[in-house]
Structure 1
Amino acid sequence: MLPDIVTFWHGPMDALRQTCLRSQLAAGHKVTLYSFDPIPGLPAGVENADAEAVLPHAFSERLRPPQPDGSWRDWTTLQFSDFFRMKLMAMGLGLWLDADVVLLRPVEIDLAKPYFAWERSRRLGNSVLYLPRGHQIVRAFEALMEQEELTPEWLSLSHRLSFAMRRLGGGSQRLSDLRIAIYGPPALTILAKRSGDLQKALPKKSFYAVHSEPKLFFEPSSYLGIVTDPEVIGLHISGKGRSKQPAVPGSLYAWATERFA
């Protein structure tokens, strides 16, 4: 089945994300981007829906207090989106793709089965995610969100020790300050192992072929082997500060910009 694609964005949108969203439309998917405010420059064809109807803005304050001007702090958007995508799964609203995933071909899923891929050799990525409503992983996040402190019962021993030491030393009392991805890929990996779904994960190359090597995307390279490989469905792009720079001629980014103009 060709699912609807859903995602979340907060703040101004750069050219890289615009290209990614256009690629998702070009693959034949309906794309809905949730936000708390209208997004200027949203590509034509992408629907803009109210994020408040999925997860209230106030939830962000449980992760990290806002800046004096009310804006979100450094990690807030990333951690908020980790919970937001799980709420979308609980509501059965579609396949989550990060707004920085270039889609090279349509994504076909079985609505009865989880859909994700290995980001690294021992860690799943959550940039591409589908979970059936009521799945064990979804229920675990729903239970977590009922807690005031948002401390997962699946937290690893090393993270528990690190958090305890930080609290004893007078550091932050919020688990969200411990690690930026505490609710992201590590959590998904642990929970997928617990639910017996690790074997369902797609290989790394399916979506993360350039994830750990952004130069393969942003710098001139021989990229035809990537874009013509039928096992490469899409590319999650780790911007590393380059997402606001113009595409360099001869790069995979330049190819994508022209292809999905």
Structure 2
Amino acid sequence: MVKEYRVGALWIGGSLSYLEQLCLKSFVDAGQHIVLYTYQGVTNAPEGVELADANTILPQTGFLRHTRTGSPALHSDLFRYHMLAQHDDLIWADTDAYCVRPFATTTGHFYAWESKHGLNGGVLGLPRDSATLAALLELTSDEFAIPEWFDDAEKARMQALKDAGTPVHAAEMPWGVWGPAALTHYLKKTGEVKFALPQVALYPFHYKDRRLMLRPGIEMSEYVTDETYSIHFYGRRMRARILQVEANGIPRPRSVIGKLLRKHGIDPTLAPLKRPALPDPEMADDDGAA
């Protein structure tokens, strides 16, 4: 039997840009109940989006941010695992996940391959009794935990630092250590990877092809199929790309995102993208395919 699920997302606080508005509105327009948790409030959420206090899931005691990028991804990872542990009728969605059709699962498991080898938690459903969820909660309960999937040499190096009283914090570890890397490892270890959906279900535009969503003339139907539930916009990189190459920071009308903005009645001039206070160091290594 297919259970009816709500979708939960997190926004630290402040105004949304049109990209987040588009994604949130897509769930409303698809007929799926979406809850936006926030710590500091938000003033421009689309009509139909339920707002909730994020402190009810994970009290605000300081945000874990990745040292190199300043991204709150670690806190977001921690939040989604606690949300799933507390609510068995919620599926997590990043605010850069665009809903194509309502999310549905008969098992409580809802995630997909992002590549041949790895899975992503941009959209994530795990039942409360999931062994993977238990392992993720245990890992993230210790900000200095040494990931068991690191190779022996790296684990030995980190253990030596820990023994010397200078342990390596999760914020200093590689990007995604509490996110895709941990999720992929534990899903494979527990065998729950058998529930994974194909890439086209949640990531029809691969990371390396994300800039195609900004290219005029590309049709969504070339990538989205009857198996697709959502499209991941890779928000941090997508926002940077739009600000870098699009006039006035607005996608062109004939691009995939431009068409979706028009479809859902989102006016990008009313909620412009914000330029980051500091340059993203990862953008210096980008191949331009943002």
Normalised by the shorter chain, which TM-score bucket? 0.7 to 0.9
Q: Show the counterpart of 2:177.
A: 182
Give the partner amino acid of 1:28.
Answer: G
- What is the number of equivalent residue pairs in this alignment? 251
**Residues 163 and 228 of structure 1, relative CA distance in 2, 3 Å threshold:** same
Q: Show the counterpart of 1:223.
A: 219
User: Which of 126, 130, 135 is the equivalent residue of 2:130?
Assistant: 135
Q: Show the counterpart of 1:2.
A: 4
User: Which of 96, 100, 103 is the equivalent residue of 2:96?
Assistant: 100
Equivalent position SS for 2:61: helix
Q: Show the counterpart of 2:148.
A: 154
Divergent runs of 4+, >6 A: 165-168
Once residues 157 and 101 of structure 2 are traced to their aligned partners in structure 1, the CA distance between those partners, rounded to angstroms, is 42
**Structure 1 gap segments, 5+ residues each:** 66-72
**Structure 2 gap segments, 5+ residues each:** 244-248, 266-290
Q: Show the counterpart of 1:206.
A: 201
Q: Show the counterpart of 2:113.
A: 118
Once residues 31 and 188 of structure 1 are traced to their aligned partners in structure 2, the CA distance between those partners, rounded to angstroms, is 23
Give the partner amino acid of 1:9.
Answer: W
Give the partner amino acid of 1:233.
Answer: Y
| 1:45-92 Cα distance to aligned partner (Å, 9 max, x none) | 11111111111221535x679xxxxxxx94451111111110011012
**1:1-261 matched pairs, under 5 angstroms:** 1-11=3-13, 12-58=15-61, 60=63, 74-92=69-87, 93-110=89-106, 112-147=107-142, 149-152=143-146, 154-157=148-151, 160=155, 163=158, 173-212=168-207, 213-226=209-222, 229-239=225-235, 240=237, 241-242=240-241, 245-261=249-265
Once residues 47 and 226 of structure 1 are traced to their aligned partners in structure 2, the CA distance between those partners, rounded to angstroms, is 33
Once residues 224 and 142 of structure 1 are traced to their aligned partners in structure 2, the CA distance between those partners, rounded to angstroms, is 36
RMSD between superposed Cα atoms in Å: 2.7
Percent identical:
26
**Residues 199 and 166 of structure 1, relative CA distance in 2, 3 Å threshold:** same
| 1:126-160 Cα distance to aligned partner (Å, 9 max, x none) | 0111000121122113323443x341553422653
Tell me which moved more, 207-216 or 24-33: 207-216
Once residues 166 and 82 of structure 1 are traced to their aligned partners in structure 2, the CA distance between those partners, rounded to angstroms, is 25
Aligned-residue offset at 1:210: 1.5
Once residues 85 and 201 of structure 1 are traced to their aligned partners in structure 2, the CA distance between those partners, rounded to angstroms, is 18
**Residues 242 and 15 of structure 1, relative CA distance in 2, 3 Å threshold:** farther
Aligned-residue offset at 1:205: 1.2
**Residues 10 and 226 of structure 1, relative CA distance in 2, 3 Å threshold:** farther
